[in-house]
Amino acid sequence: MESLYGTPEIICFCKNCVISNQRPRSTIEFKHTSSDKKQTMGFDENGICDACKYSQVKANLIDWKLRESKLIELLDKYRKNNGQYDVVVPGSGGKDSAFTSHILKYKYGMNPLTVTWAPHLYTDIGWKNFTNWSHIGGHDNLLFTPNGKLHRHLTRLAFLNLLHPFQPFIVGQRIIGPLLAAKHGISLVMYGENQAEYGNDPNENFDPTMDQKFFTEGNPLEMKLGGISIKDIIKSSEFTLQDFSPYIPPSAEFLEKQKVVVHYLGYYLEWDPQECYYYAVENTGFEANTERTPGTYSKYSSIDDKIDMFHYYTTYIKFGIGRATYDASQEIRNGKITREEGVHLVNKYDAEFPEKYFKDFLEYIDIDREKFIETVDNARSPHLWEKVNNEWKLRYKVSNKNHFDS
């Protein structure tokens, strides 16, 4: 049956965690036991996903004391003793960026400038944690808020064309660190963990720097945002190329000329999201939400933006992978919960609709409920979804039996 997004038509789940082979950007071939057709899915021949395999590498094969010594060597190279900033830490003041900036400043003696690409719509707890990052955590911060009119337009396009409302935000969030570092004469940028840890190209886990492929050359007018080139957006709107400046990645050549390098702290220190949370609570005034996030059981991860939960809801529609799947998978790998518990949590929460901020989301991207439903239903891949008694149901769900069961 047809897959709309190039994911494997045969659906299976990791035997160790609860992620499926539908997760995008997987790269390793795996042969299904009932077919000789190879499927690109990031699983090995034993049905274990790349992220779970790397978690074992982290636990057993990496000398973390040696990695920390390499971190200190790196920081000493860029350390300034004249009162100037010597490292940029991008983030929102969430648990991960709060951990990164605080430990760099108070354990390793760096002078970080924290920079933030503003959320679409701050939540109350998100704004509180952001301000606590400076007021309690003790950091200087630059809050960058992109052209709101353009950002709303791009978010709308991304939802309607890609069912990916977070795409423009992700682009801006990823380049704001290098851009502002170059502007302020700071050579080192430090992000938290590398997303490769969760199932992207596993080879990236063994490189401490951000993939240079992201910093592309070429005509910026051909860059696509929301599924449409900047050139075509300009043709059909009042926006100019200058309006898109914060979204256009700097070239690798430009960063090299400016002597800007981008590293991941998770390469040097053993990264554990739960431990980051405990550290941030103790040291930066970070607070979990008073209620769990719709679509999952967690109260402390990605809680600063009202649009964030619609990002995860759309991954559930396109790939059958919701927020609870992502949360449970990493907690299984880190030994916080069992796979059996993860299966229960996924089946209980993954399909939950984020009703709380639905009205805000519709108003933000200027569509009505009917258009939302139409767009979502058109994005359901036939190999994942079927209608039963006029209700959409996933054809396959994770279970405790084995990773091929429906």
Q: What are 283-318's pLDDT values in tens digits? A: 999 999 999 999 999 999 889 999 999 999 999 999
> Which is more confidently placed, 217 or 186?
186
CB 117 within 8 A of CB 191: no
pLDDT reading at 252 higher than 80: yes
Distance (Å, rounded) from C-alpha 340 to C-alpha 331? 12
Q: Give the pLDDT confidence score for residue 44 in this predicted structure.
A: 79
Distance (Å, rounded) from C-alpha 271 to C-alpha 254? 30
State the first-to-last Cα distance of the chain, in angstroms, to the nearest integer: 15
Q: Return mean pLDDT, the chain.
A: 92
- Smallest CA-to-CA distance from 300 within 279, 277, 323 is with 277
Band of pLDDT at residue 216, cut at 50, 70 and 90: low
CB 15 within 8 A of CB 324: no
DSSP string, 44-87: -TTS-BHHHHHHHHHHHT--HHHHHHHHHHHHHHH--SSSS--E
pLDDT reading at 8 higher than 60: yes
Band of pLDDT at residue 213, cut at 50, 70 and 90: low
The beta strand positions in 161-233, using DSSP E, are 188-191, 224-225, 228-229
Q: Give the pLDDT confidence score for residue 25 in this predicted structure.
A: 66
- Mean pLDDT, residues 234-259: 93
- Mean pLDDT, residues 330-352: 97
Band of pLDDT at residue 202, cut at 50, 70 and 90: confident
Which domains are delineated in the chain? 62-268 (3.40.50), 289-406 (no CATH)
Distance (Å, rounded) from C-alpha 238 to C-alpha 132? 38
DSSP string, 101-157: HHHHHHTT---EEEEEE--SSB-HHHHHHHHHHHHTT--EEEEE---HHHHHHHHHH
Instruction: For 342-356, write each residue's pLDDT tens digit.
Output: 999 999 999 999 999
CB 30 within 8 A of CB 43: yes
Q: Return all residues near 170 (Cβ < 8 A) that are at least 6 apart.
A: none
- Mean pLDDT, residues 217-240: 94
- Mean pLDDT, residues 327-341: 97
CB 138 within 8 A of CB 105: yes
- Poorest-pLDDT segment among 2-6, 124-128, 384-388: 2-6
- Poorest-pLDDT segment among 32-41, 227-236, 255-264, 337-346: 32-41
Distance (Å, rounded) from C-alpha 35 to C-alpha 336? 34
pLDDT reading at 127 higher than 90: yes
pLDDT reading at 31 higher than 80: no
pLDDT reading at 40 higher than 90: no
